[in-house]
């Protein structure tokens, strides 16, 4: 027998409109079955009445249709009224009510297929069986009509019992379910009106108990109602076939002509149908036992499940949601100063907030959440209220949650959706970055260098071991606490863009390594350790989360420069520069203020960069840890987080290369070997930050529009120029700077053909 459709008992407590919509399908199916059963019962009662040896023709008074809403019906189902007889012509022209009754029953059996049952899946066997019985009805029209008693016991009575017991039970449970739902809604409305400011614990406790009692009562009535509707799917199949089995057996056993009209195949068919009914009965009993056990398990939950805001002290809040659903109170203005609150079911779909009232087939759009804002508000002395505003800042709808957990999860979910992270490839990861949890730890970046970046052994450290709770976050580029640049250094200040502000600044000195990245500063904060890159990942999560919570979208665009010389020229832009000063044996990070402001570049030595890593999921996020000496003699640690236009791994590669250059800068031959090991373009003129092959040759001018400059390049200057400072002798190389000012193009081959 095909499986039947079922209502999920687990969804009874949530009572969502989707569950109510599915429930309405079962109710529609039960209503259609009730109407058909009324008509079938009338046809069978006519057959039963036709079996009585009446001298006058009569017709059964039409029984009052069964009312699903009230469950009322006539007590006397067999009342008759005298009327003008219907005179059919059957078998020799004699009047035969049994012939008419059997024909009507045959048509009624065929009408089952035409009934538009909402849950008609699996009724094919029932339909084919009824078709066969309809054929039998036509063959039995010529038999005697003296089966009243047996038909009354085996045909009419089961249908009456089915209608009076099963369908009436469904109707009664429906009324109880409606009353329980109404009582629950009233108690929830009373609970929602509890004042926030003048909160009375005794009143709150009483109302909470009232809500819990009403919710439990609704849960119990819904479970009983669902079980009855599920059982009805089995009973309706038995109720259609059991009376017919009794009818057929009565005809066969009562008439001597039954042996002539019913062959062995008919006996086999009846046995098959009887076996099918018995198997359905076994399935029904097994399913009833399962539903009974499930009902007991679902009712054995803690009372806190029925009490709203039961975990107000320590709610388990999920801040990474990108979709949310549940009941909220919607504030509606009914006049100039009057408002009403309506409890509706809300859910998110993509970037839209949808609302689905009870009884609705689907939800309707309430508000587009893209680029909107959400905030907590105080409204009419109600708790847990929040407002969703439009992208233009116009106040939108005001909603009220039933608990603190729902209140905070809705705000976080709307906040996540408003930033359209559901359109990204990994929305869960982005949501995790926006709203981090303490137990969440990211993997280490693949760009870490084991020699220069020590790894933390064992499992990832706890968040409090990395960053102290309550550490402030700086969202603007700020100067360091102490100055690390020797103010008396006499070397010239060079512009990393290859430009000079005026003629008073001589040409920039040649450098061994130069690379510029366009970045946006996200934030910086003090950290407790620099022994693992997990501190960078944790800082990324906290900075992004703080920006999302406080609605901070403005970022400072900067230039991060990796170069082998110290920046000393005045820069006509706000940018951050990471420098490698070889002539002084130092590598530094410099910070420059806005145009036209007198300044001294603040720099960090690259040796103070103890950790650097790119985010493993969002490749454009990069950060590094700076160890800064304080005036007290101690050292402080700060993490700087940036978003780059290119991959963060390229920045990490450049920093790592600079560190390696520092290690070998005292040995020119070792430095030459290091530079030769760096991946170059096919023409050997430019160093790539990745090992992707170029596939082209020629000079930089030939690649003006060829896409070569889409790669991140590192310029390599002549080794003789560098070693001349170290008083060493290496082959002469020429230096070129004919590319745009933001890229330093330096050939690696000398004029006489000698390669670096």
Higher pLDDT, 472 or 146: 472
- Give the Cα separation of 657 and 713 in Å (integer): 13
Confidence grade of residue 737 (pLDDT, cut at 50, 70, 90): very low
Confidence grade of residue 282 (pLDDT, cut at 50, 70, 90): very high
Q: Would you state the pLDDT for residue 120?
A: 73
- Contact of 168 with 268, CB cutoff 8 Å: no
pLDDT at 257 over 50: yes
Confidence grade of residue 10 (pLDDT, cut at 50, 70, 90): confident
Residue 236 CA: distances (Å) to CA of 128, 162, 261, 295? 15, 8, 29, 23
- Give the Cα separation of 103 and 138 in Å (integer): 7
Percent of the chain with pLDDT over 70: 62
> For the ranges 54-63, 218-227, 442-451, 511-520, which has the lowest average pLDDT?
442-451
Kind plus residue range of the DSSP H or E element containing 124: helix 124-139
* Winning range, highest mean pLDDT, from 198-207, 435-444, 472-481, 626-635: 198-207
Domain residue ranges of the chain, discontinuous segments joined by +: 9-299, 325-434, 463-654, 666-756
Higher pLDDT, 704 or 125: 125
Q: Would you state the pLDDT for residue 671?
A: 65
Q: Would you state the pLDDT for residue 223?
A: 94
Q: Would you state the pLDDT for residue 174?
A: 92
Q: Is the pTM of this model over 0.85?
A: no
Strands 556-563 and 473-474: unpaired
Q: Would you state the pLDDT for residue 545?
A: 84
- Contact of 482 with 631, CB cutoff 8 Å: yes
Closest CA to 552 of 531, 588, 523: 523
Residue 24 CA: distances (Å) to CA of 119, 120, 193, 278? 11, 15, 30, 29
pLDDT tens track for 482-502: 343 343 344 444 444 344 333
pLDDT at 28 over 70: yes
Confidence grade of residue 718 (pLDDT, cut at 50, 70, 90): very low
Q: Would you state the pLDDT for residue 500?
A: 39
Q: Would you state the pLDDT for residue 426?
A: 58
Strands 352-356 and 713-714: unpaired
Helices (H), 302-459: 404-418, 427-434
pLDDT at 62 over 60: no
pLDDT tens track for 558-610: 777 765 543 232 232 333 344 333 333 344 444 444 344 343 344 566 778 88
Question: What is the fold, at CATH topology level, of the domain defined by 463-654?
Answer: PH-domain like (2.30.29)
pLDDT tens track for 81-91: 233 333 333 43
Asked if the 325-434 domain carries CATH number 2.30.29.30, the reply is yes
Q: Would you state the pLDDT for residue 185?
A: 92
> For the ranges 182-191, 250-259, 666-675, which has the lowest average pLDDT?
666-675
86 secondary structure, DSSP code: P
* Winning range, highest mean pLDDT, from 127-136, 221-230, 358-367, 428-437: 221-230
Residue 683 CA: distances (Å) to CA of 17, 19, 22, 510, 691? 68, 68, 69, 22, 14
Q: Would you state the pLDDT for residue 461?
A: 59
Higher pLDDT, 196 or 449: 196
Higher pLDDT, 630 or 598: 630
- Answer yes or no: same fold for 9-299 and 463-654: no
- Give the Cα separation of 274 and 287 in Å (integer): 20
pLDDT at 221 over 90: yes
Averaged pLDDT, 642-658? 83
Q: Could you give the 3-state DSSP secondary structure of residue 256?
A: coil
pLDDT at 34 over 90: yes
Q: Would you state the pLDDT for residue 493?
A: 41
- Give the Cα separation of 459 and 442 in Å (integer): 11
Q: Which CATH code is given to the segment(s) 9-299?
A: 1.20.1270.60
Angle between helices 124-139 and 264-299 (to 10 degrees): 140
Q: Could you give the 3-state DSSP secondary structure of residue 328?
A: strand
Confidence grade of residue 674 (pLDDT, cut at 50, 70, 90): low
- Give the Cα separation of 271 and 252 in Å (integer): 14
* Winning range, highest mean pLDDT, from 98-107, 222-231, 619-628: 222-231
pLDDT at 400 over 90: yes
Residue 323 CA: distances (Å) to CA of 388, 415, 747? 15, 11, 54
Counting other chains too, the contacts that 80-89 makes at CB distance below 8 Å and 24 or more residues apart are 80/49, 82/56, 82/58, 83/58, 83/59, 85/56, 85/57, 85/58, 85/59, 86/57, 86/59, 87/57
Confidence grade of residue 227 (pLDDT, cut at 50, 70, 90): very high
Confidence grade of residue 35 (pLDDT, cut at 50, 70, 90): very high
The conformational region for residue 46 under phi > 0 = left, psi -120 to 50 = alpha, else beta, is alpha
- Give the Cα separation of 665 and 60 in Å (integer): 113
Higher pLDDT, 657 or 180: 180
Q: Would you state the pLDDT for residue 698?
A: 37
Distance, first Cα to last Cα, the chain:
83
- Contact of 756 with 748, CB cutoff 8 Å: yes
**Considering the chain, what is the average pLDDT of its residues?**
70
């Amino acid at each position: 027998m095909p499986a039947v459709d079922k209502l999920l008992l687990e969804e009874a407590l949530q009572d969502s409109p989707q569950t109510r919509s599915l429930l309405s399908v079962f109710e529609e199916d039960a209503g259609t079955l009730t109407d058909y059963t009324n008509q079938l019962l009338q046809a069978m009662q006519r057959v039963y009445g036709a079996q009585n040896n009446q001298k006058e023709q009569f017709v059964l008074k039409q029984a009052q249709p069964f009312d699903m809403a009230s469950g009322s019906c006539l007590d006397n189902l067999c009342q008759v009224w005298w009327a003008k007889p219907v005179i059919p012509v059957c078998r020799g022209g004699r009047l035969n009510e049994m012939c008419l009754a059997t024909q009507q029953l045959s048509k009624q059996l065929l009408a089952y297929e035409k009934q538009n049952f909402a849950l008609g899946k699996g009724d094919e066997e029932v339909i084919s069986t009824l078709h066969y019985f309809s054929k039998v009805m036509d063959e039995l029209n010529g038999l005697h009509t003296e089966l009243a008693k047996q038909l009354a016991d085996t045909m009419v009575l089961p249908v009456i019992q089915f209608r009076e017991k099963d369908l009436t039970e469904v109707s009664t449970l429906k009324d109880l379910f409606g009353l329980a739902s109404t009582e629950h809604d009233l108690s929830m409305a009373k609970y929602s009106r509890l004042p926030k400011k003048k909160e009375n614990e005794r009143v709150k406790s009483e109302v909470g108990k009232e809500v819990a009692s009403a919710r439990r009562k609704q849960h119990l009535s819904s479970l009983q109602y669902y079980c009855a509707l599920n059982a009805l799917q089995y009973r309706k199949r038995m109720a259609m076939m059991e009376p017919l089995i009794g009818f057929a057996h009565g005809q066969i056993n009562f008439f001597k002509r039954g042996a002539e009209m019913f062959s062995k195949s008919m006996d086999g068919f009846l046995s098959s149908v009887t076996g099918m009914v018995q198997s359905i009965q076994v399935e029904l009993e097994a399913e009833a036992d399962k539903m009974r056990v499930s009902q007991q398990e679902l009712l054995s939950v803690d009372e806190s499940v029925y009490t709203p805001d039961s975990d107000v002290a320590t709610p388990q809040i999920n801040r990474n949601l990108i979709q949310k659903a549940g009941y909220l109170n919607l504030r509606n203005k009914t006049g100039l100063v009057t408002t009403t609150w309506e409890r509706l079911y809300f859910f998110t779909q993509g970037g839209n907030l949808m609302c689905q009232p009870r009884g609705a087939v689907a939800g309707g759009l309430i508000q587009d959440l893209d680029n909107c804002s959400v905030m907590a508000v105080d409204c009419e002395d109600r708790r847990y209220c929040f407002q969703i505003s439009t992208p233009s800042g116009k106040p939108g709808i005001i909603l009220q949650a039933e608990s603190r957990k729902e209140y905070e999860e809705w705000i976080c979910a709307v906040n996540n959706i408003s930033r359209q992270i559901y359109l990204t490839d990994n929305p869960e990861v982005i949501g995790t970055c926006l709203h981090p949890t303490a137990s969440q730890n990211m993997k280490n970046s693949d760009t870490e260098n084991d020699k220069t970046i020590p790894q933390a052994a064992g499992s990832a450290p706890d968040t409090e071991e990395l960053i102290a709770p309550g550490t402030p976050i700086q969202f603007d580029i700020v100067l360091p606490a102490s100055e690390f640049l020797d103010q008396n250094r006499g070397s010239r200040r060079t512009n990393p863009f290859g430009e000079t502000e005026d003629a008073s600044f001589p040409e920039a000195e040649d450098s061994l390594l130069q690379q510029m990245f366009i970045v946006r500063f996200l934030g910086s904060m003090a950290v407790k350790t620099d022994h693992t890159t997990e501190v960078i990942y944790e800082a990324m999560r906290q900075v992004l989360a703080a920006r999302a919570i406080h609605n901070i979208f403005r970022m400072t665009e900067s230039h991060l420069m990796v170069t082998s010389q110290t920046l000393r020229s005045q820069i006509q832009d706000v940018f951050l520069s990471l420098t490698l000063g070889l002539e002084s044996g130092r590598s530094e990070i410099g910070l420059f203020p806005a145009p036209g402001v007198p300044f001294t570049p603040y720099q960090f030595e690259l040796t103070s960069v103890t950790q650097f890593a790119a985010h493993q999921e969002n490749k454009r996020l990069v950060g590094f840890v700076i160890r800064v000496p304080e005036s007290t003699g101690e050292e402080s640690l700060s993490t700087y987080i940036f978003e780059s236009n290119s991959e963060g791994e390229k920045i990490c590669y450049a920093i790592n290369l600079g560190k390696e250059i520092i290690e070998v800068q005292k040995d020119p031959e070792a430095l030459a070997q290091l530079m030769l090991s760096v991946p170059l373009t096919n023409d050997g003129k430019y160093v790539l930050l990745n090992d992707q092959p170029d596939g082209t040759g020629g000079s930089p001018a030939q690649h003006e529009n060829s896409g070569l400059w889409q790669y991140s390049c590192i310029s390599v200057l002549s080794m003789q120029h560098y070693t001349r400072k170290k008083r060493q002798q290496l082959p002469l190389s020429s230096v070129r700077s004919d590319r745009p000012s933001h890229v330093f193009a330096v050939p690696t081959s000398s004029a006489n053909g000698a390669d670096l």
